[in-house]
Amino acid sequence: MCDRVVDTIIMQARRKKALVAMSGGVDSSVAAALLQEQGFEVIGVFFHFWKEPGSGTKENACCSLEAKRDARAVADKLGIPLYTINVAKVFKQSVVDPFIQAYACGETPNPCVACNRSVKHAALMRTALQLGADVVATGHYARVQKRGREWQLLRGQDKLKDQSYFLFHLDQRSLARTVFPLGKLQKSQVRSLAKQFNLPVFNKQESQDICFIADSVGSFLERNLALKSGDIVDSKGKIVGRHAGLPGFTIGQRKGLNVGGRGPYFVVGKNAIKNQLLVTNNQNDPRLLMAGVAVKGVSWVGKVKLPVRAWVETRYHNQPAYAIIKQTGPRSVAVVFRSPQRAVPAGQFAVFYSKNGKVLGGGVIHKPISKNYANN
């Protein structure tokens, strides 16, 4: 049997009860089983998120009827209670509405980060307090450890599955009561453990798409925004095609462009006044390269003295870029890259890491910064 590794925090004898977010997937199911094996009294919680009226639901979405049935089947197998919490209203307000608004403003948001930050963890903490749970747990591939007086959030051991990017918002108080049982495991080990625990979801496939969108982002935006078609214009001002609406396009995008002529074309910007999508067929166009970005809504996991040099991930699983982070306001920073980065989209999250994979913090990418500022 694979080594059943859990973070050292859960070995503390005084902690007896764990509240586990269960989505009906393999990861959260194994997390619950591991905690139970460690002697915890495990309580499961299933979140009911917002569903677009009349849109249908993907069968593998994390809040579908299938997912709820699977979570119930796992809870029954483990002999643990499973509560359902309706977070549809706060999910709509904190995740869906900002998602739509971000696209309307020409940004490219990441709703999964917003969900973890504003919905899931907050609901877990509230429920844990109500039920008297000592810790909360999820199936994320990330690690928590205490070094001296500081709680640290670290990358998961499985580099391909690491999900610390989605958790940069966790502060010291939250980390002190949070465990990630899968943090030191590989995905293959988790699959093996699911079989050994005889969990009914051991062979279930993962859902990779946005949970609240039943079809595509483009179709969802068409239903929720007043889109206006316009021209696609190249770097010489020539009209090379038509777009169905500016929202939904992101800087650096190559696929899905309805253009003619020599390709491939890449999105380099938007002219909202003229309703034009700006493209280039030069993959080395300087407009695709950014010396740095302004980041707002910044939160820090622990104490960080600025300026600081760090590795910055500007999209989930993007190659981290070395940069210096300078404070520009109470919750805003400038991230100046050592080497210009290609097509960093506003609306995504920039997450800051130390060399050894410790999460320092992160925030929302607001806009590029000029070369002149970056060189100061």
Tokens (6 digits) for 352: 């800051």
Backbone angles phi, psi at 333, to 5 degrees: -140, 160
**Cβ distance 46 to 86 under 8 Å?**
no
**Cβ distance 95 to 47 under 8 Å?**
no
**Cβ distance 301 to 175 under 8 Å?**
yes
Q: Exposed, middle or buried by CB within 10 Å (0-12, 13-18, 19+), for 71?
A: buried
Distance of CA 90 to the CA centre of its chain: 17
Q: What is the residue type of 242?
A: R
Q: Give the H/E segment covering residue 130.
A: helix 121-131
**Cβ distance 137 to 15 under 8 Å?**
no
Q: Which of 71, 359, 47 is nearest to 212 (CA)?
A: 47
List, in sequence order, every beta strand (DSSP E) within the chain: 17-21, 41-48, 82-86, 135-137, 142-147, 150-155, 178-179, 230-233, 239-243, 266-271, 276-280, 289-300, 308-313, 321-329, 332-342, 349-353, 359-368
Catalytic residue (choose from 62, 63, 112, 211): 211
Tokens (6 digits) for 350: 């920039």
Q: Judge whether 211 counts as a catalytic residue.
A: yes
In the block, tokens 């910044």 appear at 298
Long-range contact set of residues 12-17: C-beta below 8 Å, sequence gap at least 24: 14/134, 15/40, 15/134, 15/135, 16/40, 16/41, 16/134, 17/41, 17/42, 17/43, 17/131, 17/132, 17/133, 17/134, 17/135
Q: Which residues does the annotation mark as catalytic?
A: 115, 211
